[in-house]
Structure 1
Amino acid sequence: MSPADPDPFAPALPPGRARALPWASVLAGSLLTAIPIVASVPILPPFGLLMLLTWRLLARFALRPWAAAPLGFADDLVSGQPLGSAVLLWSLCFIGIELVERRMVFRDFWQDWLIASGAIVFCLAVGRVLALPVGARVDGALLAQAAATILLFPVSTRLVAWIDRKRGAA
């Protein structure tokens, strides 16, 4: 038996704790953006959104469809975005992913990455329109932030898969 094989006799997490892990990881991702980091260009990815999309695409039933609203509200409180913007945008992302899933029977990692990329660009672009005046020149930083977030999707997928394996889901 290699270290990569799961131990079938390992005790599983209690059901309440196993259900709370996806919520806690999304909240931890939102809180990660509150860490004060000095940078010349603000390209820190929205880790809460990244974790939410990864949980939705990788483990579909880990978060309920309505979970985007309270998690988005918590992200709004932490990130400083206008209150309700992440609630709206994250809920629209969940609805969009649901519509895509109804059309596609099977998906692979590349399609998940493409779906997440579209949702990330949508959330960042509409969040910019909601939060900043039209004349603000932040488009270069916004593109860099979107690119950094899209490139971090495989890392978040590995992290969510590891958390999902630890919580006892197959």
Structure 2
Amino acid sequence: MNPRGPRLGEPASLWRMRIVPVATVLFASALPLMLPLVASSPVLPPLGLLFFLSWQLLRTEMWPVWIGLPLGLWDDLFSGAPIGTAIGLWTIASIAIAYISQRIYWRGFLHDWAIGALLVAAIQAIAALITHPHAASGHVLGLVVPQIIVSVLLMPLILRLTGRFDNFRLRRR
């Protein structure tokens, strides 16, 4: 180690480059179970999904398209949804973001927010319908709408936090 600090052109820590994105999604998926909150309807936004979409929107090239499989499985284990719900929906979202990234070359913050908001709303609505197949769809969606609104409003904050985590990830040793 150089006593004067990192050298110019020195690469970032490979450990941080690989672990930070995955760890943030895994921790965010498990966080709602760590909070002492009892509710009869969904209140907390799906933080794992928000961080997953934020990483995908911020660094599309970082993960392969199939990364929704293991991260979705982890989220399914903690969310209580049937196994395969987040696996399938997160993988579809990953494919959609990859497709959009090929079509729209110059995306700004509002584009990312709109893409994230549409994906969050669609994924949460479909996941609620999959989780409660025998309930009336209007009733199920009525329960999920407040959670979707909170998720859409939190998307800019999660995008900002993901940017901070990305700066930490890319910082030289």
- Give the TM-score band, short-chain normalised: 0.7 to 0.9
Superimposed CA distance per residue, residues 83-111 of structure 1 (whole angstroms, 9 cap, x where no aligned partner):
00100000000111112122212110101
Give the Cα–Cα distance (whole angstroms) in 2 for the partners of residues 22 and 115 of structure 1: 20
Equivalent position amino acid for 1:17 in 2: R
- Which residue of structure 2 aligns with residue 168 of structure 1? 170
TM-aligned CA deviation for residue 169 of structure 1: 6.0
Superimposed CA distance per residue, residues 52-105 of structure 1 (whole angstroms, 9 cap, x where no aligned partner):
000000122332222111000010011110000100000000111112122212
> What's the Cα RMSD here?
2.2
TM-score by length of 2: 0.85
Task: Name the CA shift for 1:17/1:124 in 2 (closer, same or farther; >3 Å).
Answer: same
Are the counterparts in 2 of residues 43 and 145 from structure 1 also a CA contact under 8 Å? yes
Q: Is there any run of 5+ residues in structure 1 with no aligned partner, and where?
A: 1-7
TM-score by length of 1: 0.87
Q: Name which structure has the greater RCO, CA cutoff 8 Å, separation 6+.
A: 2
Are the counterparts in 1 of residues 60 and 97 from structure 2 also a CA contact under 8 Å? no
Give the Cα–Cα distance (whole angstroms) in 1 for the partners of residues 171 and 61 of structure 2: 10
Are the counterparts in 1 of residues 125 and 141 from structure 2 also a CA contact under 8 Å? no
- Which residue of structure 2 aligns with residue 109 of structure 1? 109
Matches within 5 A, 1:74-89: 74-89=74-89
Q: Please state which structure has a larger fraction of its residues in helix.
A: 2
- Residue among 134, 138, 141 paired with 1:139: 141
Give the Cα–Cα distance (whole angstroms) in 2 for the partners of residues 71 and 19 of structure 1: 14
- Which residue of structure 2 aligns with residue 33 of structure 1? 32
- Which residue of structure 1 aligns with residue 154 of structure 2? 152
TM-aligned CA deviation for residue 39 of structure 1: 4.0
Are the counterparts in 2 of residues 19 and 62 from structure 1 also a CA contact under 8 Å? no
